[in-house]
Chain A
Amino acid sequence: MAPNSIHWFRKGLRLHDNPALLQAVRGAGTVRCVYFLDPWFAGSSNVGVNRWRFLLQCLEDLDANLRKLNSRLFVIRGQPANVFPRLFKEWKISRLTFEYDSEPFGKERDAAIKKLAMEAGVEVNVKTSHTLYDLDKIIELNGGQPPLTYKRFQTLISRLDPPEMPVETLSDALMGGCVTPVSEDHGDKYGVPSLEELGFDTEGLPTAVWPGGETEALTRIERHLERKAWVANFERPRMNANSLLASPTGLSPYLRFGCLSCRLFYFKLTDLYRKVKKNSSPPLSLYGQLLWREFFYTTATNNPRFDKMEGNPICVRIPWDKNPEALAKWAEAKTGFPWIDAIMTQLRQEGWIHHLARHAVACFLTRGDLWISWEEGMKVFEELLLDADWSVNAGSWMWLSCSSFFQQFFHCYCPVGFGRRTDPNGDFIRRYLPVLRGFPAKYIYDPWNAPESVQAAAKCVIGVHYPKPMVHHAEASRLNIERMKQIYQQLSRYRGLARLPRVTAAGASCSTFTIKKTRGRAAANSDCNRTYTSNSNSLVGRPLLSFVSITNIFELLGGYGYMLRI
């Protein structure tokens, strides 16, 4: 009896390079591709209209492409755990397939579904295709712990076999005798909902700058590679004013939703490099964007508290300020710093900002100016940013707020200077903050310094038509660098760390220092006596630039609460 299959779409919203989908149709009698949408979830969840629209466009695209194969997408309203048992019975399912989800709650959900399936006599097939590598292998290679520096991560993957080649796209041939029974009222029962149906008001909503879907993704990747080939240069492009704007070759949201296979991207990059450079081995830096994504997935996969500060073994406990008003000003682009406000406006309107823009606003919110918790920033990004999924978003925020990953914290992005250096003319500001259009380049980044006459000419009085700056940056950054220094100093002092530089074997992670733990009385007393003495003044010395990378991070970063050991 040929099995009846369900392929469960979650991410991986594509027909190309989808091994789980191919497994669903292999030798099957019928196949139904499902996607679950909880209608109540849409209204209450922390996901903005741009993300919903992108998702719905992905689903529409899937449906359209499946139609070409005489199939359809089944959008099911409800929760998988509640609905699957009914579907298994109704459709007489004996096979369930889906793409592996490495995130902790994804794994939990899937374990529960697997159990349900087993009870219903349904065979479950899971395939990895959202990441380049099998993440558990990377962790295993690192002695059971995820690597916490990017360099270490790169070292580990250079020891692995290259990623598996992408599999073929689902086609009529591959479908074979497999069919999808589609009822007359499929559209009503299982059609892709509209934004209005989900409760969004779409009046006046501008067209999407980033249209969702696999078709769009595949067009983009060709454009992306064409541009790279034309430039014949695989170096990191220099940042200029144009880079800040949404690019028709940008791929990050498509990678996140799985409209574009990361493996396809990887191999196309490799092929192009070999063709242009006539060189057989591309450097790891070629895959930068993909590897950062992979790095964060790896560090997050076994850590259910990855998105929290409390109880997260890899996160430093920093005494962030709770300040809902300040947070709101940042989120709503009302900080009074045009550079920050323009970026946050672009984010809310379009759903994407350049990675250096992300650094700027993240630094401003956390360790640079407002001293607000990165968890708050992460939630705002989750709502607005198209390519922010759980692992990558949380990981990046921890990185940018210097809460983890041994990130140096001495340099702070200036909310005036950084923007000015990137786009001296201020066109980016004028585009997203039209109220400031009248300001000349000289004052557009710090309009509060403009003389009254200039403000009047620009028809924008600071404090009336545009807010005054919400912090004094020099003072805030002075305070905050001192805070960060205090925290890291106390971490290292508390644990009695001694620093022994060690030249590591070639290819291994650099800047590793072994820790000599001196616990107990002697260390504690000497700490007390020397609480605020030498080395506390050196910004670089031991506490700041000399970053300790340790063999057992869990011991170091836990227990910040007890600073003094008597």
Chain B
Amino acid sequence: MKRIKGVEEDSNSSSSKSPPEVCKKVRKQTSDESVAVVASESTESDWARLPQELLLHIFQYLPLLDRAYASQVCRTWNQAFHMPELWRCFEFELNQPASSYLKATHPDLIKQIIKRHSNHLQYVSFKVDSSTESAEAACDILSQLVNCSLKTLGLISTARPSFMEVPKSHFISALTVVFVNSKSLSSLKIDDTPVDDPSLKVLVANNSDTLKLLKMSSCPHVSPAGILCVADQCHGLRELALNYHLLSDELLLALSSEKHVHLEHLRIDVVSENPGQHFHTIKKSSWDAMVRHSPKFNLVMYFFLYEDEFGPFFNEEVPVTHLYFGRSVSKEVLGRVGLHCPRLVELVVCANGLRPLDEELIRIAKHCTQLSAIGLGECEVSCSAFVEFVKMCGRRLSQLSIMEEVLIPDHKYSLDEIHWEVSKHLGRVWFPDMMPTW
């Protein structure tokens, strides 16, 4: 291409001839440039003859669309495009124009993948928007993954949980196709889906040796017995995410049995369905067993409760490491947190109410010696108490995210002075988070 372009430029000055003749002329004339010509000739053909391993390496840098364009260039590149290594991971994006602004994976591409690459797929995720159509499309694809041995499967609803709208039987049968055929599932993410106890049994029957991660928050059709079955059989389980109603003493004991590997992450969502809901308690002995078995495990708890529903919580020591209060939590509960959460690493409080949290924060600084991250939303803390808190925590506080409105100036510090004090104790420049005021 380049050569012809150059020739055309030359031909403008000379008399007009047909391109092939001019080419010959240039080739004869430029004997001293022959080296350059030969070089460009050979580099030109080499592109098509690059070894497949190199092509693979280069193609892996390209996003899918660019790779697809590249595959149209020549046969070798087209072959490279279809190499199995390039089809290990795929994310199916299923969106409808009526419910999403984002583009969906092209249906032809989906067809092609199922036809040519379904047995190459290992790490697959489905991102669906809020329409039932998209979730059903995901289930259809799942049903066709008969030849796959998936290692990772993720079902992600990017807006409303549309998997819950799919008829339960349709969903379950699609999911069990994967469970039965893969036999080597290692990571499974099925939050907000209608998965149930029988399908978990199928999962366990086929993948108990390989399952390492299971995320299933907000799966209302699963019972504590169902998840207990998983814990009993899948001894390699390292990460588990579920809702509080599925948590039981038996589950914790099963996860800390001798046969079980060390647990790394346990995430629990505590969500209030109705005000005044009653939550069961977990015995301290069960938590102790967990800590003894897996001393380094992270216990992540998200609370979405009304203020008066915290009764069963934080009355005894609990090994929580990451604590998130999504709604308002009372001073009293935060006081209990300070007393009973010695392993606390991260604390996020969305809202508290307009009474200063001075004592509670100081207590947390004192007792929670591992605390390295804290986020405060709609709360109030006096500037002096805040400085005291930071001083006590010192440099271990790597994340300090405080809304500017939280800090109440007092006789010792104004808002403008406080950031210097805090920065001093933290060993880095720090400012509170700001929101636009216009």
Contact = CB atoms under 8 A, between A and B. Distances in A.
A524 interface: yes
B241 to A, nearest CB: 7
Majority SS at the chain B contact face: mixed
A522 to B, nearest CB: 10
B262 to A, nearest CB: 13
A174 interface: no
A5 B87 CA distance: 68
Interface in A456-489: 473-475, 477-479, 481-483, 486
A408 B415 contact: no
Interface stretch (A33-41, A88-96, A215-223, A284-292): A284-292
B313 interface: no
B375 A540 contact: yes
A67 interface: no
Given A151-B431, A531-B154, A539-B348, A566 B87 contact: yes
B394 interface: no
A414 B398 contact: no
Interface residues of B, number: 96
A562 B350 contact: no
B271 to A, nearest CB: 6
A411 B265 CA distance: 23
Nearest to B372: A540
A289 B409 CA distance: 20
B414 interface: yes
A545 B373 contact: yes
B415 A417 contact: no
B399 A320 contact: no
Given A319-B129, A371-B160, A559-B63, A540 B351 contact: no
A52 B153 CA distance: 54
Interface string B374-394: 011110000000000000000
A524 B399 CA distance: 27
Residue with the greatest number of chain B CB neighbours at <10 A, chosen from A235, A392, A563: A563
A538 B429 contact: no
A528 B401 contact: no
A350 to B, nearest CB: 17
Contacts of A510: 423, 428-431
Contacts of B161: 479
Contacts of A477: 304, 326-327
A501 B215 contact: no
Interface string A548-566: 0000000000010111111
A395 B437 CA distance: 12
B429 A503 contact: yes
Interface stretch (B95-103, B137-145, B193-201): B95-103
Residue with the greatest number of chain B CB neighbours at <10 A, chosen from A310, A359, A408: A408
Nearest to B269: A478
Contacts, number: 247
Given A503-B428, A521-B60, A539-B348, A534 B265 contact: yes
A289 B434 CA distance: 12
Interface string A505-533: 01010110000000111001000110111
B428 A532 contact: no
B136 interface: no
A473 B238 CA distance: 31
Contacts of A387: 438
Nearest to B435: A359
A317 B158 CA distance: 12
A499 to B, nearest CB: 10
A506 B90 contact: no
Contacts of B421: none
A531 B217 CA distance: 17
Interface string B99-128: 111110000000000000000001101010
Contacts of B353: 417, 421
A155 B143 CA distance: 57
Interface stretch (B72-80, B184-192, B226-234, B357-365): B184-192
Interface of B: 57, 59-61, 63-65, 85-91, 95, 98-103, 122-123, 125, 127, 129-130, 151-152, 154, 156, 158-161, 187, 189, 191-192, 212-213, 215, 217-218, 238-239, 241, 264-265, 267, 269, 271-272, 275, 298, 300, 302, 304-305, 322, 324, 326-328, 346, 348, 350-351, 353-354, 373, 375-378, 398-399, 401, 403, 405, 409, 414-416, 423, 427-431, 433-438
6 contacts: A292-B438, A322-B100, A411-B377, A412-B350, A546-B399, A565-B63
